[in-house]
Amino acid sequence: MLQERSPLLTAIIICALMTVLAVAYALLANEGAPPPKEPALPPVPAGTPGTPAATGAPVQLTSRTFSINVTPAFATARPGDTVRFTLTVHPEGGFDAPVRVRVSATALGGAYRENHDLGTISAPYPPLTYEAAAPGLPPFVSTATVDAVVTATGGGTVRTERVQLVIRR
């Protein structure tokens, strides 16, 4: 008498056998193959312009980037007072791309928000000054802190600096 099996069980057995055969074939096929080689680069003669001399000393590459500094980073003022902030860009490694400066400020849990585009400065990067008027305070509030983020973007680099302004009646 012939025993019947379900089509699902037959399919599973066939898939398992095919998987085992594929793995065995892949292992056997790669066993005799040599390991892949890295492509050889042609030698560069020492003293070729634009290449370091073959001295064996490590070559240090400097990246073209910049840092920023905002002063003062913390200030206290009364409502309506004007506070002068100065941003200085410090180029590194020959950086000379234009730098765009923006300021975003919030206070009172987000009830006060301001965004300013301070423009773009170019090398040799003169100090950028920004005068901010301390906003008024709502009734029954004697002190508030304005948290600002200064963002400088240039040459694919983004730098931020945090600034705080405390307003007291």
Residue 25 within a domain: no
Checking if the pLDDT of 35 tops 70, the result is no
Which residue range forms the structural domain that includes residue 135? 65-168
Q: How crowded is residue 75: how many other Cβ atoms within 10 Å of its Cβ?
A: 18
Residue 23 within a domain: no
Query: Mean per-residue pLDDT for 114-133?
Result: 94
Give the mean pLDDT of the chain.
81
Residue 88 within a domain: yes
Quote the pLDDT of residue 165.
96
Quote the pLDDT of residue 63.
85
CATH of the domain at 127: 2.60.40.3880
pTM comes to 0.63
Query: Mean per-residue pLDDT for 79-103?
Result: 96
Query: Mean per-residue pLDDT for 109-133?
Result: 94
Residue 121 within a domain: yes
The count of domains in the chain is 1
Residue 101 within a domain: yes
Checking if the pLDDT of 71 tops 60, the result is yes
Q: Which residue has the tokens 């506070």?
A: 83
Question: In sequence order, what are the beta bridge partners of 161?
Answer: 150
Residue 37 within a domain: no
